Amino acid sequence: MTSTDDVSPAVLGRFYEDFVVGMTYQHPLGRTISEADSTWFTLLTCNTNQNHFNADLAQSNPISEGRIIVNSGLTVALVLGLSVLDMSQNAVANLGWTDITLTHPVYVGDTIYAESICVDKRESGSRPEMGIIRMKTRGLNQDGDEVVTWFRSVMIPKRSSGIGQGYFPQAKGGPLTAEPA
């Protein structure tokens, strides 16, 4: 029989109290960008710059090294997504991005990683159950080249708020057991 002491509840992300100013969080997932990813994102966003989908034309671009350049919107979105697990899984609001800098081209086939440093944290003046985290995030390719950086602020609940906790449903059939059914 399983007791509730033997159950680790579903938990994702950090709460306000968990962030430490000056700590770097290397986000655990990397993501290789396929040609389909690049093409779909470019079509979805109605971006008509042919450097993102015309290999012949891309060969004439001195930045592209003869390859298709990934839409920079995809690069930003991917790095943001890679950072969510550690930095904003429990966020209730994005408050802003500043100083987005694209520092190196990204190509189809590149694998992107992300890391963030907590640069500031403060309690919210208007919402006592919340805090504000400010971070600097950067994306790296598989060779360690920095491809993008920015600063971002998010509103994160304190653990005592209960937000983002206790959402896993109670099984109607009782606790999960190791015995065969």
Number of domains comprising the chain: 1
Cβ contact 80:91 at 8 Å: no
Work out the number of other CB atoms within 10 angstroms of the CB of residue 138. 18
Q: Domain span at residue 112?
A: 12-160
The model's pLDDT over 2-32, given as tens digits with 9 standing for 90+, comes to 455 666 565 678 899 999 999 999 999 999 9
Q: Give the CATH number, domain containing residue 20.
A: 3.10.129.10
Asked whether residue 170 is assigned to any structural domain, the reply reads no
Q: Residue 88 — pLDDT band, cuts 50, 70, 90?
A: very high
Asked whether residue 23 is assigned to any structural domain, the reply reads yes
Asked whether residue 38 is assigned to any structural domain, the reply reads yes
Asked whether residue 75 is assigned to any structural domain, the reply reads yes
Rg (CA), the chain: 21
The model's pLDDT over 127-164, given as tens digits with 9 standing for 90+, comes to 999 999 999 999 999 999 999 999 999 999 999 998 88
Asked whether residue 56 is assigned to any structural domain, the reply reads yes
Asked whether residue 174 is assigned to any structural domain, the reply reads no
The string of DSSP letters for 68-107 reads PBPPHHHHHHHHHHHHHHHHTTT-SEEEEEEEEEE-S--B
Asked whether residue 70 is assigned to any structural domain, the reply reads yes
Quote the mean pLDDT of the chain.
91
Whole-prediction pTM: 0.87
Asked whether residue 171 is assigned to any structural domain, the reply reads no
